[in-house]
Amino acid sequence: MRLRNLQIILWTAAIVATVAFFALRWSSAGMQDVADAAFSPSFSLADSEGTQRTSEEFRGKFLLVFFGFTNCPDVCPTTLSEVAQVMDDLGPDAAKVQPIFVSIDPVRDRRLGLREYTEAFHPAILGLAGTDADTEAAAESFKIYFAREADAAVADGYTMSHSPGLFLIGPDGVWLRQFAYGTPAAEILSDLRSRF
């Protein structure tokens, strides 16, 4: 009888895991579709000073949100450089936009220095590195994918894969659109200007 209960528990766990796996796969694969449906992604993540920052406190501003990790020499600097260029080119309108870098590798990024990283690109960029649970919750809310991949050949033995898009959230907190990786700063700038 005890064995049977255990079997039920194990089978239930296996089914839950399978469903969760496909649900996750489906949600990341469906990213293009969700861009059309209105939703308000949210986050609550610690900044470099350890203060918890939430999506609600930025109501009234456009948010440019990018998920990445500071140990990423190719994709992340490209996007952050574009964001920095956009902020420079916005001039006085820069006050209407808050760029946010969300670390998907928060423990290592806090150790390496989050603030010096974002400031090297632009002082306006706010770096956030929350707990693992907060980070997963934010990623889920933005419907983005990230994963840690074991790689014995690189520093610390792992690297991250992630959705490299730049997400635009409106002043009311509603998702507006995604800029695909590699979108030139001028295009992001003119999109933003058309919304002011």
Partner 1 sequence: MKSLFLSTALLLAAPAAFACGTFTVGDLTIEHAWSKATIGADRPAVFYVEITNGGSTDDALIGITTPAATMPMLHETVVTDGIASMPHAMSIPVPVGETVALSPGAYHGMLMGLATALKEGDRFPVTLTFENAGDVTVDADVLSLRAEGPDCSDAGQ
CA dist., res. 38 & res. 161, Å (int): 26
Task: Examine residue 183 and tell whether it contacts partner 1 (CB under 8 A).
Answer: no
CA dist., res. 100 & res. 95, Å (int): 14
Asked whether 45 and 134 are in contact (CB, 8 A), the reply is: yes
HSE of 8, CA atoms in CB hemisphere, 13 A: 5
Among 33, 36, 49, 149, binds partner 1 (CB under 8 A): 149
Task: Examine residue 136 and tell whether it contacts partner 1 (CB under 8 A).
Answer: no
Residue 100: what residue type?
I
Q: Which stretch binds partner 1 (CB under 8 A): 7-15, 49-57, 75-83, 93-101?
A: 75-83
Task: Examine residue 165 and tell whether it contacts partner 1 (CB under 8 A).
Answer: yes
Q: Which stretch binds partner 1 (CB under 8 A): 23-31, 50-58, 95-103, 168-176?
A: 23-31
CA dist., res. 1 & res. 188, Å (int): 63
User: According to the annotation, is 122 in a ligand binding site?
Assistant: no
Return the number of the residue (62 or 117) whose C-beta is nearest partner 1. 117
Task: Examine residue 81 and tell whether it contacts partner 1 (CB under 8 A).
Answer: yes
Among candidate residues 186, 161, 13, 8, the one with its CA nearest the CA of residue 85: 186
List residues binding partner 1 (CB under 8 A): 28-29, 31-32, 70-71, 73-75, 77-78, 81, 84-85, 112-113, 116-117, 120-121, 145, 149, 153-155, 159, 161-165, 181-182
